[in-house]
Each structure stands twice: as structure tokens, then as C-alpha cells.
Amino acid sequence: KNQVEQSPQSLIILEGKNCTLQCNYTVSPFSNLRWYKQDTGRGPVSLTIMTFSENTKSNGRYTATLDADTKQSSLHITASQLSDSASYICVVSEGSGTYKYIFGTGTRLKVLA
Amino acid sequence: GAVVSQHPSRVICKSGTSVKIECRSLDFQATTMFWYRQFPKQSLMLMATSNEGSKATYEQGVEKDKFLINHASLTLSTLTVTSAHPEDSSFYICSAREGGQGRGDTQYFGPGTRLTVL
């Protein structure tokens, strides 16, 4: 069964600190993996996208990694800001032609001043 | 970048009434649009996939007669929640994909619609 699991479920950090979110998937065939940020009451906004051959992708203070062999990905946030408080969702796209998105359960991040 | 809008952003209705939610792709043509539902502290759950000019494909457990989807043009899809009940209260999010050769699989998400049924 195609699944995407994320950890931790929630996380609280102090402003300025770094953090790393984890994503494990069992989606096959694999097309690509994306990380989204979703503010409360808003739609998801894309942060990064990685294909099978890419190991790392950065977007400002966000850096995503992908290990296609172990089917794991991480999202590292550097020097966190209050505005980083949101849910972060890992999404894997199936490579079967339908390109269906398989959503992770999300990690709720709270950054405190 | 590609922009998807939804209207209304929030709606409150009485039990038994119908509610229509619009999803528009503002600067691209969306061959395929998706409708998701999201309950508090949960991730997005796909309800249905609609291709322009054809009937929507519903996910298992989603009642097609209750959640009517129309994708009449390449820039507009509508979701109508018929005879809404309090358990239909949720956050509804649409996404749009360009489709076609070389367009990739990227879905652009709308801002969501908060539905509250009293």
C-alpha cells in the first residue's frame, strides 16, 4: 500500500534554532517528492520538489534531502522564524501515469519567541 | 507563478441547504482539477478528480450524489455540497494541474474554503 509517514507529529522550537523534519514513504512507482508548507486555514504552498536522481534541494532557509534507496526524505529549516510556524507536508507523486499525490500526515511546527 | 483561487473563502449554512464552491485557475488552463477535504489536524484527503468535459472520478467512500463536481471549462471547477449536514463541516481545498505533454504533474493549490454547517 502506498503510504507516506512523517515524524515528528508536532514540534516546538525557539526562534533562531534549526530543526529537521522526517518523511518515510513506500510509494511505488516513484515520480517525485515534494515538501509543502501549509499555514493554518490556507492551502499548501510548495517549498521543494525532488526527483529520483536528486539528493538535495534548497529554497532559502529550507533544505530538503532525498535518499531514494532507503525511501527517506528530510526537510531542514535553518534559523527558524516565527513565520515558520505551520504544518509541513511531505507529498510523493506516483509514477504510474496518474501522478496521484500521496500525502503525508504532516508535522505541525510551532516557533516560539 | 500559477495561481488558483477559491470562492468563497468561508461559508456558513443551515443543515439541509446546498453550498457551491468555485475553483479557478487564473493564469493557466487546468486540464485536471482535484478536490480535497481536510479535517482539523489531519492531512488532505482526495475526494475526487475531474477532467475538463468529462465526469469526475470519486475516491472510495465519497458520495458522488452528495458532492457534485462540474468541470465545464479549462479554468473553472465547482463543488456543490448537497443537503449539507454538520458532519460535512470541513476545509475544502482544490488544486489544478495543467496537463498535456511536458507539463508535468505539478498541482497548484487554492487557498481553501472553510464550510461550517449549523
Least CB–CB distance from A41: residue in B6, B107, B114: B114
Tens-binned pLDDT, residue by residue, of chain B (118 aa): 689 999 999 999 999 999 999 999 998 888 899 999 999 888 899 999 998 888 899 999 999 999 999 988 889 999 999 999 999 999 999 999 986 655 568 899 999 999 999 9
Distances in whole angstroms, Cα of residue A66 to Cα of each of A23, A48, A49, A86, A94: 9, 11, 10, 22, 16
Confidence bin at A50 (pLDDT 50/70/90): very high
Q: What pLDDT, on the 0 to 100 scale, is given for residue B102?
A: 56
Residue tagged 464550510 (cell numbers)? B115
Output A95 or A25, whichever has higher pLDDT: A25
Q: To the nearest whole angstrom, how far is the Cα of A111 from the nearest Cα of chain B?
A: 17
Q: What pLDDT, on the 0 to 100 scale, is given for residue B78?
A: 95
Q: What pLDDT, on the 0 to 100 scale, is given for residue B106?
A: 87
Distances in whole angstroms, Cα of residue B114 to Cα of each of A107, B71, B89: 21, 21, 8
Least CB–CB distance from B43: residue in A31, A43, A103: A103
SS (H, E, C) A51-74: ECCCCEEEECCEEEEEECCCCEEE
| Closest-CA residue to B111 (of B17, B20, B3, B32) | B3
Q: To the nearest whole angstrom, how far is the Cα of A44 from the nearest Cα of chain B?
A: 6
Spatial strand order in the sheet of B19-25: B4-7, B19-25, B76-81, B67-73
Q: What pLDDT, on the 0 to 100 scale, is given for residue B101?
A: 55
Closest residue in chain A to residue B110, using alpha carbons only? A43
Residue B107 with chain A: CB contacts under 8 Å: 101
Q: What pLDDT, on the 0 to 100 scale, is given for residue A111?
A: 98
- Contacts for B61-69: CB closer than 8 Å, 24+ residues apart: B67/B35, B69/B35
Q: Residue B118 corresponds to which cell in the numbers above?
A: 449549523
All residues at 6 or more sequence positions from B54 whose CB lies less than 8 Å from its CB, including other chains:
B71
The residues on A that touch B, with CB distances below 8 Å, are: 31-32, 36, 41-46, 49, 89, 93, 99-101, 103-106, 108
Q: To the nearest whole angstrom, how far is the Cα of B93 from the nearest Cα of chain A?
A: 7
Least CB–CB distance from A89: residue in B43, B97, B114: B43
Best mutation target among B3, B41, B44, B51 (most A Cβ atoms within 10 Å) is: B44
Q: What pLDDT, on the 0 to 100 scale, is given for residue A36?
A: 96
Q: What is the pLDDT of residues A8-44, one digit of tens each?
A: 999 999 999 999 999 999 998 998 999 999 999 999 9
Q: What is the pLDDT of residues A54-79, one digit of tens each?
A: 999 999 999 999 999 999 999 999 99
Q: Residue A44 corresponds to which cell in the numbers above?
A: 499548501
